[in-house]
Amino acid sequence: MKQKNIIINSLKESLLLVWKNKLFFLYLFMIEILFIAMFFYVSSIYIPRILENSKAMSDYMGQQKFDDITIASNILQQKNILGEDPLAISRNFNEIVRNFRIYFAYLFVLLVAFLSLSWSLTNRMMHKISFNQIKKVFFRIFAVLLSYLGLVFAFFFSLLNVSITEAAYDTSKIFAKYILFLIFAPILAYLMYVSLSLSLNTGLKDIVQRTFGIGIRKIHYILAVYFINLILFIVPIALLSFFINKEGYFLIVFISIILMIFSFVFGRILLINVINKLTAE
């Protein structure tokens, strides 16, 4: 019953807060739109390059014959079994790795910058803090994001720090890294959002201890908030994916996009509200 009261009261307070601060909420909403636009802009540059190199590598391999007779004939004629331009594979592979590295670097900068701004301004809306306090919270959140996202992106860069030979012959090692990442990534994400929600009133030297304290002892509250936020995100995504290719449903598609962005901003407010209540107990 206590858990239900905290969650319901936080939902009511969060909705009331949004209603009382409609203009400020609109600013946060626009920041989310700007972030999404920047994300898609960067993706539109590098994802096509990566796909182009992947296709070139695949097409080249598809043109080669690897049956026993052809391989034997090429060996007898002292030809490379990978065709006339065997370096085409490594060239395209290296380009894929290079573009992924640049793409991830841009994503890292975007995430750290926009999340620092959006979380600090969310605290400003909720607690009416001064400009000096906003600066402190901003740099505190910035440091938290550098730590958590730094670990995530360091993992991705470690995967990209391989040659084509290692990628081809040491797949089990790479697969093992992926498994470890899939185990620890949700845990890191869970702890990161708890840390971000604590950043207003918790110094950096205490934030790890308090994150684990709240994150473990009050896990049922926080998971309940995550579940609500997930529902708020999944519903508009489901509507969007269902109606986006259908004619005559522009309004539903538009509303779905608005609700999806709303879920990001409101989800932050709700989580901060709940964690503030949990720390006050």
From CA 120, how far away is CA 138, in angstroms rounded?
5
Q: Which residues constitute the domain of residue 56?
A: 2-280
Radius of gyration of the chain (CA): 24
From CA 31, how far away is CA 29, in angstroms rounded?
5
Q: What does the pLDDT read at residue 91? A: 79
At CB < 8 A and 24+ separation, what contacts does 259-265 make? 259/232, 259/235, 260/233, 260/236, 261/29, 261/32, 261/33, 261/36, 262/29, 262/232, 263/229, 263/232, 263/233, 263/236, 264/32, 264/233, 265/25, 265/28, 265/29, 265/32, 265/118, 265/122
From CA 255, how far away is CA 243, in angstroms rounded?
11
Q: What does the pLDDT read at residue 237? A: 93
Closest to 242 in 3D by CA, of 229, 234, 253, 227: 253
Q: What does the pLDDT read at residue 194? A: 94
- Assigned token pair, 99: 């573009």
The contacts of residue 262 (CB under 8 Å, 6+ apart) are 29, 232
- Assigned token pair, 32: 């989310």
* Per-residue tens of pLDDT for the chain, all 281 residues: 556 688 889 999 999 999 999 999 999 999 999 999 999 999 999 999 999 888 877 776 665 555 555 555 555 555 554 555 566 677 788 888 889 899 999 999 999 999 999 999 999 998 888 888 888 999 999 999 999 999 888 887 777 776 665 555 566 666 777 787 788 888 999 999 999 999 888 888 889 899 999 989 999 999 999 999 999 999 999 998 888 888 778 888 899 999 999 999 999 999 999 998 888 76
Global pTM?
Answer: 0.84
**Which residue type does 52 have?**
E
Helix axes 22-63, 250-280, angle to 10 degrees: 110
The total number of structural domains that make up the chain: 1
Q: What does the pLDDT read at residue 96? A: 87
* Contact between residue 178 and residue 156 where contact means Cβ atoms under 8 Å apart: no
From CA 201, how far away is CA 269, in angstroms rounded?
15
Task: For 200, list phi and psi in degrees, rounded to 5.
Answer: -65, -45
Q: What does the pLDDT read at residue 163? A: 61
* Contact between residue 81 and residue 71 where contact means Cβ atoms under 8 Å apart: yes
